[in-house]
Structure 1
C-alpha cells in the first residue's frame, strides 16, 4: 500500500468521480484507476462496485478502507500541525461554515482578532444554509460548522455557544404588539415572510405543522433565506416574519421593528459549534473555539459595566 494510493482512493470517494479525483490529485484517470486496482489486488477484494457508468459506490471492504484512509489522512494533518508547533510556527488551515446571519452578525470581530493572533493560518469561511453546514461537517469537508443545536444529529459533537430566541418580527406599532402573547390564530391573519421551503428550515416546518394541525389558513407572501432581507420587507409593510435571533444585536436595533417572543410556542434554541467526534482539533483550531467564548465574556463585561 502506498501513500498516493490512499490519497487517490479518498478523492474518488469524496468527489464521486474518477475523472475529478484524477484532476484533484494531478494524475491521469488511467493512472488513478491502476492505483485502485493495485489496492484491490493487495487486499484481494473489490473496493468499489462495478456497475456501468454510475457514480463510484463503495463495497463493504471499501467502507472499511475509507475509515482507515480518513484516520491516516487526519493523522498526517495533525502531525504537520504538531511539527509546526514544535518549530514555533502557527501555521495551518481552518475551514468554517455557517449561515449568512451568523457570519454577518457574530463573526467579524472574532475573525479579526483570530487573524491577528494567527496570521499564518489560512482561514476559509463558507456561507451555507444550516443543513448543508451539517453535511459538510459530517463529510469532513470543514473543521467547524455553526447551526442551531437541535438540528445536529447525535453522530456529531456540539459545543453550545449562544442562546437565540424565536420571535415574530413586525413593524413598530403593528397590531400584534398590543398582544400579551402572540397566538398562532392571530399570527395566521397576517401575510408571512418565511424561509424558503426547500431549505427545510425547522422554524418554518414547525410553524406550518401547527397551522395545519389547528386548521388555520395562512398566506406566504415572500420567501427569504436570512433575517436581514426579511427585516427590510417587514419594515416596508409587506408582511410579518418569524426567525431565531439574538436579542440586542445593534444591526437589528437600527430598524423600526419590534420582536415579539414565540417562546411559549417554541422551546429554547442555541447556536452550537459542530464538529466530528473522531477529529481532535489541532491547537490553532482549538484556539478559534476558545476565542468565541473570550469574545462573549468581553461583551458581557462591557454590558455589565455600562449599566
Structure 2
C-alpha cells in the first residue's frame, strides 16, 4: 500500500468520479484506476460497487478503508501543523463553515483582523446551512463550524458563543405587534415566510409540529433560506416570518420591523462552535477561536452540546 494510493482512493470517494479525482491529484485516470485496482488486489476485496457509469458506491470493505484513509490523512495534516508550530511558524490551512446569517453579521471584523494577523494561513469560509455544517464537521472536511446548539450531535465538541431567541418578524404596525404575547393560533392566521423544507431547519420543523399538534391550518407564502431575505419581504407586507436571531443586530434594526418573542413557546438557544473531538487544534486555529469566543474557548473545547 502506497501513500498515493490512499490519496487517490480518498479523492475518488469525495468527488464521486475517477475523472475528477485524477484531475485533483494530478495524475491520469488510467494511473488512478490502476492504483485502486492495486489496493483491491493487495487486500483481496472490492472497494467500489460500480452501478452504471456515473454511480460509485463503497462496499463494506470500502467503507472500512475510507475510515482508515481519513484517519491517515488527518494524521498527516496534524503532523504538518505540529511541525510548523515547533518551528514557530503560523502556516497552514483553516476551513470554516457557517450559515449565511452568521457569516454576514458576526464574522467580518474578526476575519479581517485574523487575515491581517495571520497572512500565511490559507483561510477558507463556506456559506452552508446548519445540517450541512454538521455533516462537514463529521466528515472532517472542515476544521470547525458554527450552528445552533440544539442541532449539534453529542458526539461532537461544542462551545457556546452567542445566545439567540426565536421570534416572529413582522412589519411595523402589524396587528401581531399589538399583542402582549403571540399565540400559535394568532400566528397561523397570517401568511408565513419560512426556511425551505429540504434544509430541515429546526425552527420550521418545531413550528410546524406545534401547528399540527394544535390542529391549526397555516399557509407558507414564501420559502427563504436566510433572515435577511425574509426581512425584505416581511417589510413589503407579504407575510410574517419566524427565526432565531441575536437581538440588536445593526442590519436588522435599520428596517421597519418588529421582533416579537416566542420564548414562551420555544426556549433559548445558542450559536455554538462545533468540532470533532479527535481534531487537533493548531495554535493559529486556536487564535481564530479566541478572536471570536475569547480566552474561555480553549479551556471549553471538551464541552458537550446539551
- Give me the TM-score of the superposition, normalised by structure 1: 0.90
Could you give the per-residue CA deviations for residues 7-65 of structure 1, whole angstroms, max 9, x where no partner exists?
11111111122222111111122211111122222223332335553633223332222
Q: Distance in 2 between matches of 1:251 and 1:295?
A: 28
Q: Distance in 2 between matches of 1:146 and 1:294?
A: 16
Give the structure 1 partner of residue 6 of structure 2.
6
Q: Distance in 2 between matches of 1:21 and 1:187?
A: 50
SS in 2 for 1:145: strand
For residue 206 of structure 1, report the CA deviation from its aligned partner. 1.5
Indicate how the Cα distance of structure 1 residues 255 and 217 shifts in structure 2: closer, same or farther if over 3 A, else same: same
For residue 288 of structure 1, report the CA deviation from its aligned partner. 1.3
Conserved? CA contact 1:110–1:295, under 8 Å: no
Conserved? CA contact 1:147–1:272, under 8 Å: yes
SS in 2 for 1:119: coil
Indicate how the Cα distance of structure 1 residues 238 and 6 shifts in structure 2: closer, same or farther if over 3 A, else same: same
Give the structure 2 partner of residue 175 of structure 1.
175
Query: Does 2:20 correspond to 1:17?
Result: no
Conserved? CA contact 1:19–1:29, under 8 Å: yes
Q: Distance in 1 between matches of 2:159 and 2:55?
A: 35
Indicate how the Cα distance of structure 1 residues 296 and 162 shifts in structure 2: closer, same or farther if over 3 A, else same: farther
What is the 5 A alignment of 1:25-104?
25-53=25-53, 55-104=55-104
Give the structure 2 partner of residue 155 of structure 1.
155
Give the structure 2 partner of residue 282 of structure 1.
282
Q: Distance in 1 between matches of 2:57 and 2:195?
A: 34
Q: Distance in 1 between matches of 2:116 and 2:27?
A: 38
Residue ranges of structure 2 left out of the alignment (5+ in a row):
298-306
SS in 2 for 1:290: helix
Indicate how the Cα distance of structure 1 residues 274 and 112 shifts in structure 2: closer, same or farther if over 3 A, else same: same
What is the 5 A alignment of 1:102-251?
102-251=102-251
In the TM superposition, structure 1's runs of 4+ consecutive aligned residues that sit over 4 Å from their partners are none
SS in 2 for 1:53: coil
Q: Distance in 1 between matches of 2:37 and 2:296?
A: 52
Q: Distance in 2 between matches of 1:44 and 1:223?
A: 50
* RMSD across aligned positions (CA): 2.0
What is the 5 A alignment of 1:290-301?
290-294=290-294
SS in 1 for 2:241: strand
Q: Distance in 1 between matches of 2:215 and 2:129?
A: 30
Q: Distance in 1 between matches of 2:190 and 2:157?
A: 39
Conserved? CA contact 2:17–2:54, under 8 Å: no
Q: Distance in 1 between matches of 2:280 and 2:240?
A: 43
- Give me the TM-score of the superposition, normalised by structure 2: 0.91
Indicate how the Cα distance of structure 1 residues 249 and 43 shifts in structure 2: closer, same or farther if over 3 A, else same: same
Q: Distance in 2 between matches of 1:67 and 1:219?
A: 45
Q: Distance in 1 between matches of 2:149 and 2:226?
A: 18
